[in-house]
Amino acid sequence: MIEDRDVAAVAEQLGRPPRGLRAVAHRCPCGLPSVVETNPRLEDGTPFPTLYYLTCPRARTAVSRLEESGMMREMTERLRDDPSLAARYRAAYRDYLERRDAIERLPGAPGVGGMPDRVKCLHALVAHELAAPGTNPFGREALEALPRWWADGPCVAESLPLAVILQKFQDLS
C-alpha cells in the first residue's frame, strides 16, 4: 500500500497524477520517493511493462545527461565483447521479469530498458538497481557516474495534501 503523502510527492515530481502505483521502491536520502513500483497493467488494462519507474526529477535529469553522453552505446558495445557482463545483464533481465511476473505475467514477456540484448534506457536500469541493489550491472555503473542529485534537498515540497494536488491536475484538464 502506498501512502497518500507519497502519491502526492510522486504527482508533484512527475507533474501529473501517477498511474499504476503499487509501492515506493526506493527513497532518496531526502526521504521522498525516487523510484516507484508500478502495476504491469494500468487501470484501463493497458500493459505497462515498466515495473520500476524513476520519479525524482533531479535523478531523471542526471540520468538523461548520461544518456546524452553516449553511455548507452558504449555499454551496448561492451555486451558484445564481454561474455561475463552479458551474462550478468541477462540475469538482471531475468530478475526484472521474475519480479514483474510475480505480480502479473504480461504476454510476450516484454523487456524494459533494452534488456537483455542492448542498453536502451538508463532510467529504467537505474530504477531497477535502486529498487533491487546488486541486480543490474549497468544500472550500478550509471548510479556510480551520477552526481549526488539529492544534495540540495527535496526535489518537491511535501506540504500539499493529495486531494489538493489531484484537484490541481483536474483543474488543468
Residue 55 pairs in a beta bridge with none
Collapse the DSSP code of 47 into the 3-class scheme (helix H, G, I; strand E, B; otherwise coil) and give the result.
Answer: strand
18-27, 36-45, 130-139, 147-156: the lowest-pLDDT one: 147-156
Q: Closest Cα to residue 18, out of 45, 31, 36?
A: 36
pLDDT at 108: 85
pLDDT at 30: 86
Cα 83-88-122 angle, rounded to 5 deg: 110
Q: How many domains does the chain contain in total?
A: 1
Average pLDDT, the chain: 90
pLDDT at 166 > cutoff 70:
no
Residue 54 pairs in a beta bridge with 35
Q: Global pTM?
A: 0.89
**Region 135-139 average pLDDT:** 98
Q: Closest Cα to residue 157, out of 22, 17, 3, 5?
A: 5
DSSP 90-102: HHHHHHHHHHHHT
**Region 7-21 average pLDDT:** 92
Tens of pLDDT, residue by residue over 56-81, are 999 999 999 999 999 999 999 999 99
DSSP 3-46: -HHHHHHHHHHHTS---SEEEEEEE-TTSSEEEEEE-SB-TTS-
Q: Closest Cα to residue 122, out of 114, 134, 111, 110?
A: 114
11: left (phi over 0), alpha (psi -120 to 50) or beta: alpha
pLDDT at 159: 55
- Percent over 70 (pLDDT), the chain: 91
Range of the domain at 30: 4-172
Q: Closest Cα to residue 57, out of 12, 13, 8, 24?
A: 13
- How many residues can be counted in the chain? 173
- pLDDT band for position 170 (cuts 50, 70, 90): low
pLDDT at 163: 59
- Residues 6 or more apart whose CB falls under 8 angstroms from that of 171 comprise none
